């Protein structure tokens, strides 16, 4: 019974995959439809310029420190149920690791916004 259901589900998946590929194909290539939209006029410059690597690194650093903040927030609830000394040592070591990471990023120059 399980083999039959697996075979039917794989068969339905393959049929859907083939149908979707056949129906979603574009029959012609239109330059205007593939270009960025600017009120029907030809674009003045190339819209897909390379992005700044420095901005990308700064965004990654922001995400890392944002995730670290979300890891710190539940510690308030955990404080009620744990030993105060163990809790203090864990939080202090966690914050020290964050501060050392921040100083390392500052030393590497990733936080300097220069053009």
Question: What average pLDDT does the structure give for the chain?
Answer: 79
DSSP designation for 111: T
Per-residue pLDDT averaged across 90-114, rounded?
84
Written as one string, the DSSP assignment of 71-87 is HHTTHHHHHHHS-HHHH
Tell me which residue of 55, 50, 52, 51 sits closest to 111, measured CA to CA. 55
Confidence of residue 14 (pLDDT cuts 50, 70, 90): very high
What pLDDT is attached to residue 28?
A: 57
Indicate if the pLDDT at residue 98 is higher than 90: no
Kindly report, residue by residue over 33-84, the tens digit of the pLDDT.
666 665 656 556 666 667 777 778 778 888 887 888 888 888 888 888 888 8
Indicate if the pLDDT at residue 27 is higher than 90: no
Q: Six-digit token pair at 31?
A: 């330059």
What pLDDT is attached to residue 36?
A: 61
Task: Give CA–CA dist 9/3, Å, rounded.
Answer: 10
Indicate if the pLDDT at residue 13 is higher than 90: yes
């Amino acid at each position: 019974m399980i083999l039959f259901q697996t075979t039917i589900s794989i068969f339905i998946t393959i049929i859907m995959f083939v149908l979707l590929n056949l129906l979603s194909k574009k029959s012609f290539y239109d330059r205007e439809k593939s270009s960025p939209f600017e009120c029907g006029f030809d674009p003045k410059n190339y819209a897909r310029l390379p992005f700044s690597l420095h901005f990308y690194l700064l965004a990654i650093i922001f995400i890392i420190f944002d995730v670290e903040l979300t890891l710190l927030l539940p510690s308030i609830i955990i404080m009620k149920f744990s030993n105060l000394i163990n809790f203090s040592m864990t939080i202090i070591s966690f914050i020290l690791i964050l501060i050392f990471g921040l100083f390392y990023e500052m030393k590497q120059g990733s936080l300097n916004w220069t053009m």
